[in-house]
Amino acid sequence: MTLRVVLAEDNYIVREGVEKLINSEPDLEVVAACADYDSLMGAVAAETPDVVVTDIRMPPTGTDEGIRAANELRAEHPDLGVVVLSQYSEPKYALDFLESGSRGRAYLLKERVSNIGQLAQAIRDVARGGSVIDPEVVDALVAARSRASDSPLRVLTPRETEILGEMAQGKNNAAVAASLVLSERAVEKHINSIFSKLALSQEPDVHRRVKAVLLFLSAQG
């Protein structure tokens, strides 16, 4: 049985090359090749493919269209396999992609695409409900988890971590409060708790903020 594939990649040269690689396999057929998020979703609706092969970043925003498409397709077409091709081994992308489960999902680095055997097998695997994660991405996930367990930020609550992230963007208390829809008093209490947990309570206020932000940025990797 031939597996029907929808391909999404905004770079014309890469799209043409990957399409030819996939079509070189006797049991795989690219039924639509798309350059952006909207055309990808339209092609899936029109072609009812077995598998989608997509880049992470595409128009219109060039951020995480491939991840968003995969998550939406999980809800709308639960049996549809998705292979993400990324030039990033960043843990955040992989975790967002696998947030709803790894069944029928593959995350490969683009540098592996020249190995048609690996890409073709990933397509076959996800069509059967299997999962494939690039070993380099697994290494990055393990390293990120290790950093997190060693980080002084592990003692912070999710809300405190969120507030510290806002502080890292240079926002004052009022701006943090507006961004997170909190009162300034609530933000102040959270920040004092952050300083206490990070053992910065005795520092002058400006130094505490700078040191807390530096700890946050170093923990982000």
Mean pLDDT of each 10-residue bin along the chain, 221 residues long: 96 93 96 97 97 94 90 92 85 79 88 82 94 78 57 82 86 91 93 88 69 74 53
Planar angle of CA 124, 125, 126, nearest 5 degrees? 95
In this prediction, residue 132 carries a pLDDT of: 87
Q: What is the pLDDT of residue 202?
A: 66
Structure tokens at 196: 């206490």
**What CATH code is carried by the domain that includes residue 204?**
1.10.10.10
Residue 209 has which token pair? 């903020």
Residues 122 and 190 in one domain: no
Are both 161 and 128 inside the same structural domain?
Answer: no
- Say if residue 99 is in the same domain as residue 18: yes
Measuring CA to CA, how many Å separate 183 from each of 157, 190, 197, 204? 18, 11, 21, 23
Distance separating alpha carbons of residues 116 and 114, to the nearest angstrom: 6
Domain count, the chain: 2
**Residues paired with residue 105 on neighbouring β-strands, in sequence order:** 82, 131
The rounded distance, in Å, linking the Cα atoms of 145 and 59 is 31
pLDDT for 147 equals: 55
Q: 108 and 88: one domain?
A: yes
Q: What is the tens place of the pLDDT at every residue in 105-123?
A: 998 988 877 778 889 999 9
Mean pLDDT of the chain: 86
pLDDT of residue 3: 98
* Residue 155 and residue 209 in one domain: yes
Domain that holds residue 207: 151-219
Last residue of a domain, one of 96, 127, 143: 143
175 and 90 co-located in one domain? no
